[in-house]
């Protein structure tokens, strides 16, 4: 990926645009912080495809018009970020299994009939589990948070065979709602419902949790010292911790786990792999592991330069 200094002094991805160039984009509100253009420029350069990728800020009340306009303009693929991942579901002609399972869409692929919805956050977080060699199968998993990001963590825990999915959120009702929604979704899809339990504040601290997924924004820049759970004792039993926060590269949550002898991994790799899966869906390509590893490393390096 080539890069130049933008107007704000930050490095910017360089696009090559000609009359035949097709457009990919990301919509969200806000969207100015997105790293997706850096991911996709790496993918475009590696594949040699004639695409350009740009961010569009879309207000909540304009989602329908934005998707209809994108369809009319022939935009081939759209990434969807906060707060539109559920709203765009109504704009699709069909949904794949991952989108139905999570109840949210982060990727739209243009077809002659309209946009088909996918959720590649499941692929990205699943890849993070694989990279960390986290032994989810047959073991209980604790998920911190009950927002949109938690949906992907619950789905991955289910798909990878966790013996029990534990959910804790500062507002208990949100955790209970997430549990009920996911159980109802599984029944509607004809899937077996696993053991899912909402934890009280007392159970959170009294029980041992060897595998923990942080899906809250605690520790996100600029409040990098914020922890999803403040109690020091909580981190003593954590052997594997995955954090969806991608900025900074090491969060306080990750540092606490490492200080107590556990393994921790941050969300920047998840961000790359969900983007790569979106690109594969749009183009029909399938990147080999060696290619993916090379591009992944290039993104990690680029993201350090952009976020530093």
Catalytically active residues are 85
Question: What is the Cα 160 distance to its own chain's centre?
Answer: 17
Element (H, E) at 85: none
- Is the Cβ–Cβ distance between 96 and 117 less than 8 Å? yes
- Contact criterion met (CB below 8 Å) for 267 and 131: no
Element (H, E) at 303: helix 289-307
Cα separation, 82 vs 76, in Å, equals 20
How many Cβ atoms are within 10 Å of 122's Cβ, its own excluded?
25
Cα 118 off chain centre by: 12
């Amino acid at each position: 990926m080539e890069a130049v200094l933008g107007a704000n002094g930050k490095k910017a991805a360089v696009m090559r645009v000609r009359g035949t160039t097709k457009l990919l984009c990301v919509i969200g509100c806000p969207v100015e912080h997105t790293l997706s253009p850096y991911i996709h420029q790496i993918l475009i350069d590696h594949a040699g495809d004639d695409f350009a990728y740009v961010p569009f800020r879309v207000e909540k009340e304009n989602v329908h018009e934005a998707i209809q306009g994108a369809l009319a303009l022939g935009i081939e693929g759209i990434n969807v970020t906060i707060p539109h991942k559920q709203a765009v579901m109504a704009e699709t002609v069909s949904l794949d299994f991952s989108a139905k399972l999570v109840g949210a869409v982060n990727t739209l692929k243009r077809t002659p009939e309209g946009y088909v919805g996918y959720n590649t956050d499941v692929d990205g977080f699943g890849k993070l589990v694989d990279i960390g060699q986290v032994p989810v199968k047959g073991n209980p998993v604790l998920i911190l948070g009950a927002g949109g990001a938690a949906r992907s963590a619950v789905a991955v825990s289910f798909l990878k065979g966790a013996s029990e999915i534990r959910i804790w959120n500062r507002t208990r009702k949100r955790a209970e709602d997430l549990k009920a929604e996911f159980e109802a979704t599984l029944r509607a899809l004809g899937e077996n419902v696993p053991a899912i339990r909402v934890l009280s504040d007392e159970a959170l601290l009294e029980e041992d949790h060897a595998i923990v997924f942080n899906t809250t924004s605690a520790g996100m820049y600029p409040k990098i010292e914020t922890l999803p759970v403040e109690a020091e004792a909580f981190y003593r039993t954590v052997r594997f911790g995955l954090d969806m926060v991608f900025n900074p590269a090491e969060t306080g949550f990750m540092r606490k786990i490492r200080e107590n002898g556990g393994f921790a991994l941050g969300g920047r790799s998840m961000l790359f792999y969900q983007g790569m899966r979106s690109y594969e869906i749009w183009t029909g390509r399938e990147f080999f592991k060696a290619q993916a590893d090379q591009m992944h490393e290039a993104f990690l390096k680029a993201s350090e330069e952009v976020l530093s």
